[in-house]
C-alpha cells in the first residue's frame, strides 16, 4: 500500500487507462479528507515529538468479486486515493490481473527507489565536513 500511496496520481491514472477491463466497484467509504498528526525524532534517533499535522485522504472499496481495497494517501487528492484503493484490491486477487498489478507495483517501486537514490546523491554532493584544526602552541 505504501508504494501506491507514494506513486504519482498521473502514473496511477495511466495504469488505470491501460487496464484491459476497468473493474467495477462499490464504495465502502468514499474518499474523505482529514488531518493526521506527524511525529518526528531529533536526529532520527531522539525522543519522539509532535511535528505537526498534514492532510490525508482515505477510502475503501469492494470489487464486484468481493475483494476489498484500502488507501491512505498524503494530501487532498481524492482520485489518487480511489486509484490506489482499486489497485490495492487488484493486488489481492489470484488471477492474471493481479500478476500484472504486482509487476506494475514493482515498476513503481523501482521508480521511487531511483528517485530516492538521485535525491540522496544530490544531497550528498552538498555535504560539508566541518573539522577543528589543532592550534599550535605560541612560543614564549
Q: How far, in Å, are 7, 9, 123, 130 from residue 63 at the CA level? A: 21, 20, 43, 57
Residue 2 has pLDDT above 80, yes or no: yes
Confidence of residue 137 (pLDDT cuts 50, 70, 90): low
Decide if 91 is inside a domain: yes
Range of the domain at 26: 2-109
Short-list 74, 73, 91, 97, CA closest to 21: 97
11 and 87 in contact (C-beta within 8 Å)? no
What are the tens digits of pLDDT across the range 14-69? Answer: 999 988 888 999 999 999 999 999 999 887 788 899 999 999 999 999 999 999 99
Residue 118 lies in a domain: no
Helix boundaries (H) for 7-77: 9-18
Structural domains in the chain (count): 1
Residue 137 lies in a domain: no
* pTM of the predicted model as reported, rounded to 2 decimal places: 0.76
Q: For residue range 94-107, list pLDDT tens digits in order.
A: 776 767 777 888 88
Amino acid at each position: 500500500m505504501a508504494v501506491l500511496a507514494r506513486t504519482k496520481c498521473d502514473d496511477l491514472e495511466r495504469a488505470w487507462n491501460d487496464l484491459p477491463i476497468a473493474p467495477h466497484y462499490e464504495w465502502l467509504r468514499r474518499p474523505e479528507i482529514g488531518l493526521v498528526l506527524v511525529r518526528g525524532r531529533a536526529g532520527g534517533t531522539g525522543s519522539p515529538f509532535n511535528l505537526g499535522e498534514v492532510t490525508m485522504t482515505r477510502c475503501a472499496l469492494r470489487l464486484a468479486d468481493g475483494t476489498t481495497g484500502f488507501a491512505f494517501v498524503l494530501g487532498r487528492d481524492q482520485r489518487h486515493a480511489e486509484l490506489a484503493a482499486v489497485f490495492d484490491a487488484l493486488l489481492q486477487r489470484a488471477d492474471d490481473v493481479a500478476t500484472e498489478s504486482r509487476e506494475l507495483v514493482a515498476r513503481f517501486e523501482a521508480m521511487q527507489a531511483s528517485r530516492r537514490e538521485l535525491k540522496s546523491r544530490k544531497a550528498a554532493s552538498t555535504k560539508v565536513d566541518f573539522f577543528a584544526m589543532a592550534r599550535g602552541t605560541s612560543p614564549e
